[in-house]
């Protein structure tokens, strides 16, 4: 007799495949590895302009993608404008019923599932509307904290924030298992009333080392020489348009003003916060680099900077730096929970120490530099590869199935 494999339905409020950003890569890689033991169906709610899709995206892993209805998209835009804050994801609390095709797809998938997992808490009401299956909860950040920073301090903003709090707290309380990508989130979610800390699991973000090409120290020198950068020194930073990243970028502008013989390149949307003509002359912003351009830049950079001081410690970008073979200068918080050791894997210090650490990196002997790069590469491969990360939670999933 062939035993039927257990099934997990994932309710996700955005299209997952192809996995072209941090959150999609996390979902795709964790669950493609877990799909060796489970049948897993992602039921994703995409934007109204995206195409519907249903198919296999990895062995044992399927995605059923349903676009929002035009009525839903219009109501979402109207509510976001009324609130005056970019909280489109949270509007699902009020608007999910406007996409009935998504509810139908979720109901159909959940009917044969052992568990339903919600990514973020906003589809929890939709899950409860279509089934009473046990729920797991993947936390992508403490939503009450995130939305508090964005919502206006008026009656409408307060009412909306309270609805976010209510859904997040209820989802955390009801869920049999809560998965977080940072220890900050793990500690914070356990502080909600009646949430047992024993059911909260910290599962850090990993990296697909096979996808990322490691550039040796020698090849990095060749790459620089080909582009006429042999005698220059390039420091890079990658940031989004978040307020935290803006603060980090300001720190780098200050550092750049003290190291005017070096070049600093800031990749990503973080550049929207700054007027280029008012920044130090040795700083360049590149907001819309495609993956190929970014890969080329990271294959010739001399150092990558990670001046993170607060926020969620998910650290996907710094993992990519390590896998690319770039020497890294980071704060302690920036590599918190990764097991990275000062000196052995990268240079670590407070932001005010970065100018000194960057100069040290520039002048460091080749043997020490190469040894540190190899140490970091080996450590990431053995501890933070997605297959290793997924294996850490396999026993928890199997235990939950046995207890159900």
Determine the Cα–Cα distance for residues 221 and 218; give it in Å rounded to an integer. 5
E strand or H helix at 44: strand 39-46
* CA angle, 188 then 190 then 194, to 5°: 135
If one counts every other C-beta atom within 10 angstroms of the C-beta of residue 359, the result is 15
Q: Residue 305: what are its φ and ψ, rounded to 5°? A: -105, 140
3-state percent breakdown (helix, strand, coil) of the chain, nearest 5: 50, 20, 35
Task: Select from 167, 199, 178, 179 the least CA-distant residue to 89.
Answer: 167
The whole model's pTM is what? 0.84
* Token code pair at residue 158: 């307060």
pLDDT surpasses 80 at 272:
no
E strand residue ranges, 323-377: 328-330, 347-348
**Dihedral of alpha carbons 102, 104, 107, 110, sign:** negative
pLDDT surpasses 80 at 4:
no
E strand residue ranges, 181-233: 200-202
pLDDT surpasses 90 at 121:
yes
Angle (deg, nearest 10), helices 143-150 and 155-174: 170
- pLDDT tens sequence across 48-62: 989 999 999 999 999
- pLDDT tens sequence across 232-268: 899 999 877 666 677 888 899 999 999 999 999 988 8
**What does the pLDDT average to over 169-174?**
94
pLDDT above 90 as % of the chain? 61
- pLDDT tens sequence across 348-396: 999 999 999 999 999 999 999 999 999 999 999 999 999 999 988 887 7
**What does the pLDDT average to over 108-134?**
96
Task: Select from 246, 238, 296, 290 the least CA-distant residue to 264.
Answer: 238
User: Would you say 318 and 310 are in contact if contact means Cβ atoms under 8 Å apart?
Assistant: no
pLDDT surpasses 90 at 190:
no
Determine the Cα–Cα distance for residues 299 and 81; give it in Å rounded to an integer. 42
* Token code pair at residue 371: 């040894």
Q: pLDDT value at position 311? A: 61
Sorted by where each starts, the structural domains of the chain and their CATH numbers stand as 7-206+386-403 (3.40.50.2000), 217-383 (3.40.50.2000)
pLDDT surpasses 80 at 315:
no
Tokens 């999910």 sit at which residue? 96
pLDDT above 70 as % of the chain? 95
């Amino acid at each position: 007799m062939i035993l039927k494999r257990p099934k997990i339905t994932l309710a996700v409020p955005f299209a997952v495949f192809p996995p072209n950003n941090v959150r999609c890569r996390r979902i795709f890689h964790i669950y493609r590895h877990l799909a060796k033991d489970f049948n897993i169906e992602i039921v994703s709610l995409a934007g109204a302009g995206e195409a519907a899709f249903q198919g296999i995206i990895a062995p044992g892993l399927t995605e059923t993608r349903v676009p929002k209805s035009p009525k839903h998209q219009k109501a979402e835009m109207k509510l976001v404008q009324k609130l005056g804050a970019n909280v489109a994801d949270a509007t699902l609390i009020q608007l999910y019923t406007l996409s009935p095709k998504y509810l139908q797809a979720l109901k159909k998938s959940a009917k044969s599932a052992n568990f339903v997992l919600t990514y973020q808490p906003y589809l929890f009401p939709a899950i409860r509307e279509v089934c009473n299956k046990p729920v797991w909860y993947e936390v992508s950040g403490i939503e009450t904290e995130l939305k508090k920073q964005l919502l206006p301090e008026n009656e409408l903003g307060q009412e909306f924030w309270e609805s976010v709090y209510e859904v997040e707290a209820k989802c955390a309380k009801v869920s049999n298992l809560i998965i977080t990508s940072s220890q900050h989130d793990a500690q914070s979610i356990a502080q909600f009333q009646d949430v047992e800390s024993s059911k909260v699991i910290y599962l850090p973000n990993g990296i697909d080392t096979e996808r990322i090409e490691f550039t040796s120290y020698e090849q990095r020198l060749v790459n620089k020489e080909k582009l006429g950068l042999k005698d220059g020194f390039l420091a890079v930073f990658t940031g989004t348009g978040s307020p935290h990243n803006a603060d980090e970028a300001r720190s780098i502008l200050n550092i750049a003003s003290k190291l005017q013989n070096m070049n600093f390149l800031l990749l990503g949307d973080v550049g929207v916060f700054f007027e280029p003509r008012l920044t130090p002359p040795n700083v360049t912003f590149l907001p819309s680099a495609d993956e190929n351009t970014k890969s080329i830049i990271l294959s010739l950079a001399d150092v990558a900077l990670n001046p993170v001081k607060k926020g969620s410690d998910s650290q996907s970008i710094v993992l990519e730096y390590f896998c690319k073979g770039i020497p890294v200068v980071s704060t302690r918080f920036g590599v918190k929970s990764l097991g990275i050791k000062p000196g052995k894997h990268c240079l670590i210090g407070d932001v005010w120490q970065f100018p000194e650490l960057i100069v040290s990196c520039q002048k460091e002997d080749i043997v020490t530099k190469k040894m540190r790069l190899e140490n970091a590469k080996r450590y990431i491969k053995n501890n933070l590869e997605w297959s290793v990360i997924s294996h850490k939670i396999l026993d928890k999933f199997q235990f939950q199935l046995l207890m159900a």
